[in-house]
Structure 1
Amino acid sequence: MTLDDSRPFVSTRIAVLTVSDTRTVDDDRSGDTLAERIEAAGHTIAHRALVEDDRGRIADILRRWVADPEVDVVISTGGTGLTGRDVTVEAHRDVYEKEIEAFGTLFTMISVKKIGTSAIQSRACGGVAGGTYLFALPGSPSACRDGWDEILAPQLDYRHRPCNFVEILPRLDEHLKRT
């Protein structure tokens, strides 16, 4: 990663959604991990919520946050596995206008170095809707650290070169504007 110190840091507004049937706000270690890292990097927590593994409810929250002009990025944690209750990826894809296919690929590459072939069970994904970035990470604190530290922190830093998500953020919804 190359940081261009001639460019200013640009803070983004990030919403964090934990998807779980078993966690509560008091024991949401993955959501806490993301929130701590987001704030330490200089970004703002726009919203934080916990929802059970329900595709419709997850998608509703994602759509509400996409429609909120105070949210630039949504990061969810949990529900990306293979069990019958794991529906976060499907909910995200219900909302995406465009999928960022390489996000899941890059997350898998990072995971393989740490957990070997077990990485095959993760379905991390990313996309764009309504001018907002959306990312789904697995539900472990370790996966949240990997996704944030290795991918999202650099890409959400305007100083990151050769390119980053922040510099194109104002253009994500240009197709919705009249010329």
Structure 2
Amino acid sequence: MFCYTYLSNVECGLRELILWSEISCQHPIFITNVAQCLNITLPPTIVAGLERMRQCFANINQQARQLLASAPQHRHNTMHNFTLAQQTAHLMQQFLQYDQEFIGILQQVKNFGTNQPVFQTLIHHIENEQVYMLQLISTLLQQLCQGPTPYSNMFSVPPAPDENV
């Protein structure tokens, strides 16, 4: 299930990025730990790919936290807000790139532990979350780059009809 999320400001986008990059950072750890517990041997290339993804998402998380921490200090500085939006968009683009790469690694991981329903359920769950994140961050990035959306006034009172028409 994917719901349209309205980006009310750049800080909101950074908070979403922090949340989802933190979750994405934990997924490779879950996969390797559960594989070890179930005696599933993942090839070194997959383990290295999972560790790389963990590091990539952790890096995005750290950068997003730093940007969010700097945001309130410059709230009324238009130039800083533009720069903040650009930096946030760049982080979102990186997240999307890493997320697609991670989904590709998950496709490979599915080939292991095929006789372990717990492992397969975990991989399927993680894959679904990563696809959700791909859709969500794509939507947020699109809004960030395009500015206000048609939904931004969806709860406002429409103007009175023009009597001269």
Same fold (TM over 0.5): no
Q: Quick check: which one's strand share is greater? A: 1
Q: Which has the larger radius of gyration?
A: 2
What is the TM-score of this pair, normalised by structure 1? Answer: 0.29
Q: TM-score, normalised by structure 2?
A: 0.30
